[in-house]
């Protein structure tokens, strides 16, 4: 018996075969599908729909099928549409008519969301582990370089001196939020949909609590229509990945810029570089550019899913089949990119000598805000001090001199509150350490935050 031997009784038109078949991509859910079928078989037996002997026969058949798929011996057939029907067909080939009892009271509408939920439970754990590895690599780089001071940038123009670790910890906090989001997402994901039937709920009184325990879920879905209709758990996963990819993309952009000849703050290892087919001297950051490129696609996958969902009437509609390729693509690229990013932060080099030279020769306009603070501490109103230092900065730029080279008499012409001790502000360490608030770049604060990140990232979020 195939699905078409009843109501339709004619073969599916050739033109629809390819469009309708999802087995080419949903076959990767075979573990989850078999796990779901095993639990369902036991529930059917418990309910008295199948006998113990039949239960054993089905379970044995399913185990063999799983092995066949794992070893690559299984022959998937396009005409069987999806992973569910491929397995059912093979089960029939193996154990005969008893195979047809497995689907009693069950619908593929609930089966597919069960598979997807099980799959994402697993994937989320893997992603969280990889995220932990990346955090560790970034923290390692930060710890080794707390004392390396670099200019920070706003509008890609030099702003204020910061420890490079401060920038690296910014990445860490974005990643930690990702980890936290996955944890929170799992609470909603961890809900068992089986027993929802096609849309109205099981008509054979299947024991949903038994299924929940058997499959290791925390709770069961509370509305059968919602259970088969929603894909918001997939959208949520894709959003978390998309948000992580925005961070990956920006980290890569930072490193591409800061490793360019003009900046030379980082050196990307040769193993993560490429060259040009024409210009033999080139060392290009292609892997980082590709991560930036992948982010477009991962964000795109989220958008296609949301657009896919927005116009479908409740409950299940076949459009929903289109949720999978984007999801798998997002999962594959997320796992891949975590490995690249982790390797990058493990092996990237900071050019401390170049950084020191650059800071030394850089116009000390980076101290302008410290100069404003100096005046403010001596009672000048901030807005006035800002204007005065602005004029001094212009004076220095116009004459091509450093702020620290302007004589005190000259400073006094701008504001009588200046005194000899103003020259003490021209120290990178002093400037950095003055930003001594929780979350600031003062070195003691960074040490504090490293400890904080280490303890959060090892806790089970
Ligand atoms: N391949 C389908 C999907 O991914 C499985 C559910 C099919 N259900 C149905 N009523 N045709 O959504």
Sequential DSSP letters for 289-329: HHHHHHHHHHHHHHHHHHHHHHTPPSS--GGGGGHHHHHHH
Could you tell me the pLDDT band of residue 131, with boundaries at 50, 70 and 90? very high
Expressed in angstroms and rounded, the spacing between residue 15 Cα and the centre of ligand 1 is: 18
- d(Cα 171, Cα 179) in Å, to the nearest integer? 13
CB-CB contact of 132 with 457 (8 Å): yes
22 lines ligand 1 (CB under 6 A): yes
Ligand 1 site, residue 318, Cβ cutoff 6 A: yes
Per-domain boundaries in the chain: 14-104, 109-357, 365-425
- Residue that the structure tokens 């101290």 belong to: 367
Name the percent of the chain lying above pLDDT 90. 89
Contact indicator for 375, 429 with CB cutoff of 8 Å: no
pLDDT confidence of residue 377? 97
Q: Which atom of ligand 1 is nearest to the CA of 81?
A: 1
**Higher model confidence: residue 11 or residue 222?**
222
Quick one: fold of 14-104? Fumarase C; Chain B, domain 1 (1.10.275)
pLDDT for the residue numbered 460: 60
Ligand 1 center to 62 CA (angstroms): 20
Catalytic-residue membership of 249: no
Long-range pairs for 375-381: beta carbons < 8 A, 24 or more residues apart: 375/415, 375/417, 375/418, 378/417, 379/417, 380/415, 380/417
Check residues 345 and 2 and name the one with the higher pLDDT.
Answer: 345
Compute the distance between CA of residue 136 and CA of residue 28 in angstroms, rounded to an integer. Answer: 31
Least confident of 47-56, 189-198, 452-461: 452-461
* Atom number, ligand 1, closest to the C-alpha of residue 198: 10
Choose which residue among 82, 110, 116, 305 to substitute to test ligand 1 binding: the one with the highest number of ligand atoms within 8 A of its C-beta: 82
Name 149's bridge partners.
163
Q: What is the pLDDT of residues 399-432, one digit of tens each?
A: 999 999 999 999 999 999 999 999 999 999 999 9
Q: Which of 83, 161, 227, 186 has the alpha carbon at shortest distance from 427?
A: 161
Cβ count near 20 (within 10 Å)? 15
- The residue-averaged pLDDT of 329-355 equals 96
Which band of pLDDT confidence, cut at 50, 70 and 90, is reported for residue 280?
confident
Alpha-carbon gap, residue 59 to 197, rounded angstroms: 21
Q: Between the CA of residue 159 and those of 155, 277, 354, 355, what are the distances in Å?
A: 9, 38, 19, 16
Confidence check: pLDDT of 453 > 70: yes
pLDDT, average across residues 317-321: 97
Residue indicated by tokens 């409950």: 315
The predicted-structure confidence for 347-393, as pLDDT tens digits, reads as follows 999 999 999 888 876 678 999 999 999 999 999 999 999 999 999 99
Residue nearest to ligand 1 atom 2, measured at CA:
321
pLDDT value for 13 = 86
Nearest to 264 by CA among 361, 355, 343: 355
Over the Cα atoms of the chain, what is R_g? 31
Q: Binning pLDDT at 50, 70 and 90, where does residue 89 land?
A: very high
CATH number of 109-357: 1.20.200.10
User: Can you tell me the distance from the alpha carbon of 170 to that of 251, in angstroms, rounded to the nearest whole number?
Assistant: 10
Best probe residue, ligand 1, of 3, 80, 109, 117 (max atoms within 8 Å of C-beta)? 109
Give the residue with greater pLDDT, 461 vs 214: 214
108 lines ligand 1 (CB under 6 A): yes
Residues 5 and 58: their CA atoms lie apart, in Å, by 23
Which residue of the set 203, 276, 362, 416 is catalytic? 276
Angle between helices 30-46 and 83-95 (to 10 degrees): 60
- Structure-model confidence comparison of residues 92 and 275, the more confident one: 92
Nearest CA to ligand 1 atom 11: 318
Q: Indicate the burial class of 147 (C-beta count within 10 angstroms; 0-12, 13-18, 19 or more).
A: middle
Phi, psi (deg, nearest 5) at residue 251: -65, -45
pLDDT attached to residue 10: 84
427 noted as active-site residue: no
The predicted pLDDT at position 361 comes to 63
C-beta separation of 113 from 409 below 8 A: no
Whether the CB of 187 sits within 6 Å of ligand 1: no
Partners of 157 in beta bridges: 154
Q: Considering the domain 365-425 in this protein, what is its CATH number?
A: 1.10.40.30
User: Are residues 354 and 260 in contact, defined by beta-carbon separation less than 8 angstroms?
Assistant: no
Residue 228 near residue 110 (C-beta atoms within 8 A)? yes
**Mean pLDDT of all residues in the chain?**
95
Q: For a pocket test of ligand 1, which of 8, 108, 320, 325 has the largest count of ligand atoms closer than 8 A to its C-beta? A: 108
Name the 3-class secondary structure at 178.
Answer: helix
Cα(237) to centroid(ligand 1), Å: 21
What pLDDT is attached to residue 461? 55
Q: How far is CA 387 from the centre of its chain?
A: 44
Q: Given this model, what pLDDT does residue 155 score?
A: 97
Please report the pLDDT score of residue 362 as a whole number.
64
The set of residues, in sequence order, having a beta carbon less than 8 Å from that of 33 and lying 6+ positions away, is: 83, 84, 87, 111, 115
Banded model confidence at residue 165, pLDDT cuts 50, 70, 90 = very high
Nearest-CA residue for ligand 1 atom 3 is 321
- Catalytic residue from among 155, 277, 455, 459: 155
Within 8 A by CB and 6+ apart from 425, the residues are: 367, 370, 371, 373, 374, 431
């Amino acid at each position: 018996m195939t699905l078409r031997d009843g109501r339709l009784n004619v073969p599916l038109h050739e033109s629809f075969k390819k469009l309708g078949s999802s087995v080419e991509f949903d076959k990767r859910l075979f573990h989850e599908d078999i796990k779901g079928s095993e639990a369902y078989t036991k529930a059917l037996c418990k309910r008295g729909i199948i006998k113990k002997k039949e239960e054993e026969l089905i379970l044995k058949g399913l185990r063999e099928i799983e092995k066949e798929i794992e070893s690559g011996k299984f022959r998937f057939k396009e005409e069987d549409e999806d992973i569910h029907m491929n397995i059912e067909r093979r089960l029939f080939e193996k154990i005969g008519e008893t195979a047809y009892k497995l689907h009693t009271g069950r619908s593929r509408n609930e089966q597919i969301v069960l598979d997807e939920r099980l799959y994402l439970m697993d994937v989320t754990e893997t992603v969280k582990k990889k995220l932990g590895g990346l955090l560790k690599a970034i923290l390692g780089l930060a710890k080794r370089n707390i004392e390396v001071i670099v200019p920070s940038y706003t509008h890609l123009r030099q702003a204020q001196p910061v420890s490079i670790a401060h920038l690296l910890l910014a990445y860490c906090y974005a990643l930690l939020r990702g980890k936290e989001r996955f944890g929170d997402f799992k609470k909603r994901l961890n809900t068992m949909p089986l027993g929802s039937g096609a849309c109205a709920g099981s008509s054979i009184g299947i024991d949903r609590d038994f299924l929940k325990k058997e499959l290791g879920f925390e709770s069961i879905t509370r509305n059968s229509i919602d259970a088969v209709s929603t894909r918001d758990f997939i959208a949520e996963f894709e959003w978390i990945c998309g948000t992580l990819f925005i961070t990956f993309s920006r980290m890569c952009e930072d490193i591409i810029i800061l490793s360019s000849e003009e900046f030379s703050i980082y050196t990307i290892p040769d193993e993560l570089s490429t060259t040009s087919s024409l210009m033999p001297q080139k060392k290009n950051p292609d892997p980082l550019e590709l991560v930036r490129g992948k982010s477009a696609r991962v964000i795109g996958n989220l958008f296609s899913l949301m657009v896919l969902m927005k116009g479908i009437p409740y409950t299940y509609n076949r459009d929903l089949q289109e949720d999978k390729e984007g999801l798998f693509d997002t999962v594959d690229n997320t796992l891949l990119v975590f490995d690249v990013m982790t390797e990058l932060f493990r092996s990237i080099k900071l050019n401390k000598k170049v950084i020191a030279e650059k800071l030394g020769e850089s116009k000390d306009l980076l101290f302008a805000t410290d100069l404003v603070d100096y005046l403010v501490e001596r009672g000048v109103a901030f807005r006035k001090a800002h204007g005065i230092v602005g004029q001094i900065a212009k004076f220095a730029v116009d004459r091509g001199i450093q702020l620290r080279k302007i004589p005190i008499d000259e400073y006094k012409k701008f504001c009588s509150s200046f005194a000899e001790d103003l020259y003490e502000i021209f120290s990178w360490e002093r400037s950095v350490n003055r930003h001594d608030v929780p979350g600031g770049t003062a070195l003691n604060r960074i040490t504090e935050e490293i400890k904080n990140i280490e303890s959060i990232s090892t806790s089970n979020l």
